[in-house]
Structure 1
Amino acid sequence: MLAAQRTYIVAIATFIIVATLSFYAFRDQSVFVVARITRPSSNPTLRDTVASLFASIKHDPSATGYVDPSGTYYEGGSETIWTKPLSKKVLIVDIDTRVPTGENELLNPERLDWENLKTEDAGLVSNSIMNHYLYAMVHGYDYKFYQARDMKDHYNTWILPHVLRELIPKYQFVIVMDADVTIAHPDVPFEWMFNRWGIKQHTSIALPWDTEEIRDEGSISLDSKGMRVLNTGLVVAQNSSTTLELLDAWRDCTSETRYKGCARWRYEWSHEQRAFSEYIRYDFNKTPETIVTIPCDDAVGWPGFRQDMLSRPGTANKDISDCNGNFVRHYTTMGKTRVKDASAFSVMQMFSDALQKSILANPSEVWYKEPEKKTKMPKEQPDEVREDDQSKPDADVVLIER
C-alpha cells in the first residue's frame, strides 16, 4: 500500500515538473505563434523597408526652409499649404516607348551590372526607373513605369499628354519626369517643393521655365508671343475638372479642332512642349495659380550647367541661362552621361544621412572610446650610491679616542 502511494506521488511530481519545464520552454514559441496569427506576414516588403530605413531623414513638408549638405539654405513657400504627406495620393510615373529589357537593363531578369550600366537609350530608362522608384518608396508615393506605344503621325514625346489624361483620374497628383531627370535631394518630399513653388489646391498643372538660349539671331527659347517657353521634363498635374479639360485640349492640339496651326508641332521641335507654350497656357490660365511656373534654377540643368553648355564647340558670342537644378536636375543634351553618377551620389547622401543619425542617436552601440589610462608615478627612490663611494674611514687614518 505504501509503495503504491509513493508511486502515485512520484508520478504527480513528475507531471508537475514536466509541465513547468514545458511552460518555460515553449512560452516564447506560443507568443510567436500568436504573433504570426495576428500579423499574417512578418516579412516586410522592399517598400516598407525603404520607408523605415529613411524615415529619420525625411524633410518636414511644413518646414520654413531647407539646408542642403553643402550648407546652402533654401526658403520654403510664402504659404504653407501642404503640411502632411500625401502618400499614395501622389503617383510618380516614367512614360517611355523605350523598354529596358535588353542586355544589362533593369527589366531583364539577368543580374544587373551597375558599374557597366549604359547611359543612353534604354540604359538611361533603367536609371530613371531606379532613381524615381526609390524616391517614391522613401516618401510613400505610388510609382509606375508606363510602357507607351509609338505615336502615329507624331513625334513620340506626344505620349505625355494622353498618358497623363489616362492616369490623372485615379490620383490627386501625377508627376512625370523625363528619363534624364534625377532628384537632387531625395530627403525632400514633393509636398515641400509644392509649397516653395506656390502650388495651391486649385492648381491644375506646374512646369519649369526652360533655359533661355541666346544665339546670333537672339533668343531661341521664346514662343510666338515673345514669352519664354516651359519645359516638360517635369510636369506636376493635379486632378480637377479644369485639369481634365486642359489635358484633353493638349492631347488633341494637333487635330486643330481647337487650335489652328498646332499641327506643325507634330514633328517640329519642341513638339508637345512647344504646343503647350503656344496654346494651352494662354487658354487655361484662369487664375495666376492655375498654371504654375517653376523656377528654372530649381528644376532644369545641373550645378555648373551654364559653364558646361558654353564650353561646347561653336558657342562663341552665345549665352544661356544658369539653371542649376537645385531640387530636380534635368541633364539635357550633353548632360545625359552624368545621370548615373548623379543618381548614385544622391543615394549615397541619403545613406550617409541615415547612418549618421543612427550612430549619433545610439553612440554606445558602435562608438567605443578607449578610457584614459592613468599613469602611476613611481615611488621616490634614494639616489644610487656606488659601494666604493660610500663614506668609510680611510684605512691609513688612525682614529684617536679622546
Structure 2
Amino acid sequence: MVVGRSMLSGTRRQYLVVVALSIIWCILYFYDSIHRANELVRTGLLTTGGWSAVSVHNTSTESNSELRDAITTLFKTTKIHPTQHYYRDSKGKYFSGANGNESTWETPLGKRILIVDIDTRVPTGDNQILDPSKKIDWESLESGGTGLVSHAITNHYLYALIHGYEYRYYQALNMPDHYPTWIRPHIFKELLPDYEFIVAMDADVVVSHLEIPLEWMFNRWGIAKHTSMALPHDTEEFVDGKSISTDSKGVPVLNGGFVVSHNNPLTFEMLEAWGNCTTEVRYPGCARWKGEWSHEQRAFSEYIRYDFGKVPKTIVGIPCDDAMGYPEFKSQNEAKGNAGVSDCSGNFIRHYTLGKEQVHTGGTGTMAQVLAEVLQKSLLSQQNEVVIKEAEPQEAAWEGESTEKAAWEAEGKR
C-alpha cells in the first residue's frame, strides 16, 4: 500500500489527539507532581491570630510546564477571547460580554492570576486525589465531605491549566475559636502580593464552562482597575418565613464561596480589617460571627463592604445567577420544601450549596463537555481524512462477476 503525505499527516494529528486526551485524564492521577514532599510543601506561620498553616505548592516545574503546554494547546480551539462580545453555551443560551463592549481586561493575564483552593480537609484518604497508594476511582469518588476537595482540585486545576493561570491547593489549619472558613482573609493577604488577582473557590464550586477565561467574566461583571474585591450575591433562603440571606440593614449578603481579590493597597487594608473583625477593635459586635452562620462572609457584608465600598466598583457584587446556584436550583429545592429560594443557575460558576451530592455529576459534565467540543472541532477540521463516505454503488462484484446496479438493487429487494 502506498502511504501518501496527507495520510501520514492525518495519522499524526490523530495520534496527537489521542496523546493529548491521555494527558487530560492524567490530571486525575497527577501524584508524581504533587506528592514529592521536598518539592511541594512549604510551611509558614501566619502571625494574625497566632495560628499556622501549610501551603502545598506544585513546584515540579519541568513536568508541570509540559502538562501546562499540552493542555493549553489541546484546548486552544475552544477558548474564547477576553473581549469577545458574547458567549453562547451548548444549549444555545446567549450571554453578553462587557457592558457596551467596553472591556477593561483585554489580554490574558496568565500567571498573574492565582486560583486557590483553601481547605482544612486533606484529600489523602482512600480514593482521594492526593492518595498516593493507588489510582483514583473517579466513578466512585464521593460527592461530599473530603471528596468535595478532590472534586474541587480536579476541576479548578484543569481550568487553571487551560488558561495558563497559577494554581495552589492551600492545606490550612483551623483558627482557634473560629469557624474554619475564617482562614480566608488571612490567606488572601498572605498570597496576594505575588499576583494581580487571587480567585478562591469553595470545594462545592464547579467552573461551569472551562473554555471561558476569568478575564471575560471580569469584563462582564464590571470589575475595574480600582476594584479591590468581587463576590456574588447570595441565593436568598427563608426560614420560618424570614430571609436568612440579608444583613441587618436588609441588604442581600455576599457569598464567600467565590472571591476575587485584586492586588492594590486598599485591598490589603480591607483584608486586614476583615481578618481582625472578630477582635471588635474596629467593629463592635463582630465577634458573634466567629461561630454563628454565615461567619466571615456575614462579617464582610455587615461591616467591610460598608466601610470600604463607598467608591463605586471598589467592591463588586457579582449577579447571583452568574456565580451561585446550579441548573434547576430553584425547582429542586422548592420540591424539597425550601420555598422561596432564588432562581440562580450558576451560569459561569456553579455553587452547590444546597446540592452537594450533585458536585460529581456537575463537575464530570463540565469536563466532558469541553473535551467533546475539542474532539468535535478536530473531527470537523479534518473530515476529508477521518471520514470515509461509501459511494453509491454503480456495480457490485462477486468472485470476478459484475452485476449492474439496477439488477443488484432488484436482487436486494427480494
TM-score after normalising by structure 2: 0.78
Q: Which residue of 2 aligns with 1:311?
A: 335
Shift of 1:215: 4.0
Q: Is this contact kept in 1: 2:83–2:98, CA < 8 A? A: no
Q: Is this contact kept in 2: 1:97–1:149, CA < 8 A? A: yes
Q: Which residue of 2 aligns with 1:368?
A: 388
Shift of 1:43: 11
Shift of 1:220: 1.9
| Alignment pair present for 1:136 and 2:160 | yes
Q: Is this contact kept in 2: 1:58–1:188, CA < 8 A? A: yes
Q: Which residue of 2 aligns with 1:300?
A: 324
What whole-Å deviation, never above 9, does each CA across 1:150-188 have from its counterpart, x for those lacking one?
111111110111111101110000000000000110000
Shift of 1:329: 0.1
Q: AA paired with 1:292?
A: V
Q: Which residue of 1 aligns with 2:109?
A: 86
Q: Which residue of 2 aligns with 1:45?
A: 66
Q: AA paired with 1:75?
A: S
Aligned mates of 1:94, 1:141 — CA distance in 2: 13
Provide the identity percentage.
54
Aligned mates of 1:312, 1:116 — CA distance in 2: 25
| Alignment pair present for 1:113 and 2:134 | no
Change (3 A) 1:278 1:378: closer
Please tell me the root mean square deviation across aligned C-alpha atoms, in Å. Answer: 1.7
- Out of 55, 79, 98, which is 1:77 matched to? 98
- Out of 368, 373, 386, which is 1:348 matched to? 368
Aligned mates of 1:378, 1:258 — CA distance in 2: 91
| Alignment pair present for 1:323 and 2:344 | yes
Q: Which residue of 2 aligns with 1:244?
A: 268
Aligned mates of 2:210, 2:318 — CA distance in 1: 18
Shift of 1:122: 1.2
Q: AA paired with 1:254?
A: T
Q: Is this contact kept in 2: 1:127–1:340, CA < 8 A? A: yes
Equivalent residues in 2 for 1:124-273 (5 A)? 124-273=148-297
Q: Is this contact kept in 2: 1:215–1:319, CA < 8 A? A: no
Change (3 A) 1:241 1:265: same
Which secondary structure does the structure 1 equivalent of 2:77 belong to? Answer: helix
TM-score after normalising by structure 1: 0.81
In the alignment, structure 2 segments of 5+ residues that lack a partner are 1-61, 396-402, 407-414
| Alignment pair present for 1:68 and 2:89 | yes
Change (3 A) 1:283 1:378: closer
- Out of 278, 283, 287, which is 2:311 matched to? 287
Q: Is this contact kept in 1: 2:322–2:348, CA < 8 A? A: yes
Q: AA paired with 2:373?
A: D
Aligned mates of 2:81, 2:375 — CA distance in 1: 19
Q: AA paired with 1:68?
A: D
Shift of 1:218: 2.7
Aligned mates of 2:244, 2:405 — CA distance in 1: 85
- Out of 118, 127, 130, which is 1:104 matched to? 127
In the alignment, structure 1 segments of 5+ residues that lack a partner are 1-40, 380-402
Q: Which residue of 2 aligns with 1:382?
A: none
Q: Is this contact kept in 2: 1:93–1:175, CA < 8 A? A: yes
Q: Is this contact kept in 1: 2:204–2:359, CA < 8 A? A: yes
Shift of 1:287: 1.6
What whole-Å deviation, never above 9, does each CA across 1:166-223 have from its counterpart, x for those lacking one?
0111000000000000011000000000010000111000000001123444322110
The higher radius of gyration belongs to 1
Shift of 1:86: 0.5
Q: How many residues align?
A: 335
Change (3 A) 1:214 1:120: closer
Q: Is this contact kept in 2: 1:204–1:238, CA < 8 A? A: yes
Which secondary structure does the structure 1 equivalent of 2:225 belong to? Answer: coil
What whole-Å deviation, never above 9, does each CA across 1:250-293 have from its counterpart, x for those lacking one?
00000111111101100011000100000000000132110000
Aligned mates of 1:235, 1:309 — CA distance in 2: 25
Change (3 A) 1:210 1:372: same
Change (3 A) 1:370 1:294: same
Q: Which residue of 2 aligns with 1:12?
A: none
Q: Is this contact kept in 1: 2:198–2:260, CA < 8 A? A: yes
Aligned mates of 2:350, 2:64 — CA distance in 1: 35
Q: AA paired with 1:129?
A: I
Q: AA paired with 2:153?
A: I
Q: AA paired with 2:96?
A: E
Larger displacement relative to structure 2 (114-123 or 180-189): 114-123
